[in-house]
Amino acid sequence: MLISVLTLTATATTYYVAPTGDDAHPGTVNQPWRTIQHAADTMVAGDTVYIRAGTYHERVVPQNSGSSGNYITYTAYPGDTVTIDGAGITLPQDWGGLFDVTDKRYITISGLRIINAGPNANNAGILVDLSSYITIENCSTQNTVSSSIGIWNSKHITIDGNEIVLACNDGEQECITVAGTDTFEVKNNHVHHGGPGSIGGEGIDIKDGSSNGRVYKNHVHDLNRLGMYVEPWDKHTSIIDVYQNIVHDCHGNGFCVASEAGGLLEHVSFYNNIAYRNEECGFNFGHYGEEDILSRPLKDIKVINNVFYNNGKGSWGGGISVESRDAEDTTIRNNIISKNLVFQMNVEVSIPNLIIDHNLIDGYRGFDSETYGTDFLEGDPRFQNPSGVNFH
């Protein structure tokens, strides 16, 4: 018996959008659509839209998900500058992004410039919520009231190679926010010259129940708040590696951990980072947040093989400061702590299983709670050119 089997396969389609297009067109290279949203309404798993140069005054909300191996891709046409401009667009009052991905899967956003997202306190440039397998790469954002990129309650997220300017322009959250998210990478991003920082504005914040993440090779500077923050709020947050980042010239700490609302933060490692010229500390184990919280637990936080140089301004600030009364199993090892203002290593509290060893201390100040730790070296690290930011 001869049996014929008919196999149906989805065919990926490439579409085009251009300022001279028309949404009544078929979306081909010669007859492109006019709006990105029309592409967002149309595309299905495996499809790609190439967006031609120009400014698009619209909000984009994808309507469909891709699938494993068949991402839906929104990308600038090679060599073109594509701007999505939210000027005059009122985003939802509670939460909303100018590019808003909610409850979707397998989507890539690549090479887009997103500006003027607002006007409400939690309006982001790119907002991802309740989604998975989302990649945001090689984009730029400017003037977002809240986060440039805000990731909430999601899984399998990649934020790679984006430039963020004037984020948190008097809104809440942080320039890059990752909250309640499992399995993520935040890498190769340039975050700088943020908003006023009155109610938000830290550079990169991993928080609120996030886990299984890596934050690396980011450059954060010239912010009105601290540079990189890992804090659980009131949820268990764990297994996060922060490495090979550079943070400088921030009006706060370079790096910080704290439990602001009582959640447990544990198994977090900071290594091979550089923090310099920040106004407070290169690294701070903080003890602050909601006033009625009795316990702010930090457990198994490691700070190893970092450089903290020339931090502190005015009458306060230094290299590393341990201020959390609820930290335990803390390791500070093999760091170079040099020429910071008020102290190099400050320990204000007695906490269980605090290990401070094998650090190089340059410029002990004699501050009341300053310490060398054990098995330390003291002397000039002989950086090749610290004024030229060469810490080899």
| Cα separation, 226 vs 83, whole angstroms | 29
- Residues 14-34 have pLDDT tens digits of 999 999 999 999 999 999 999
Quick check: 292 pLDDT over 70? yes
Burial zone of 80 (CB within 10 Å; 0-12 exposed, 13-18 middle, 19+ buried) = middle
Tell me, what's the pLDDT at 10? 58
Residue 307 binned pLDDT confidence (cut-offs 50, 70, 90): very high
Is residue 73 within a helix (H) or strand (E), and if so which, with residue range? strand 72-76
Residues in a beta bridge with 390: 385
The model carries a pTM of 0.96
First to last CA, the chain: 75
Taking the CA of residue 248 as centre, how many other CA atoms within 13 Å lie in the half-sphere pointing to its CB? 14
Structure tokens at 11: 């065919």
334-344 mean pLDDT: 98
| Cα separation, 142 vs 121, whole angstroms | 15
Give me Rg for the CA atoms of the chain: 23
Q: Among 42-46, 67-71, 92-96, 137-141, which stretch is predicted with the lowest mean pLDDT? A: 92-96
199-212 mean pLDDT: 97
Quick check: 360 pLDDT over 80? yes
Amino acid in position 22 = D
Tell me, what's the pLDDT at 356? 99
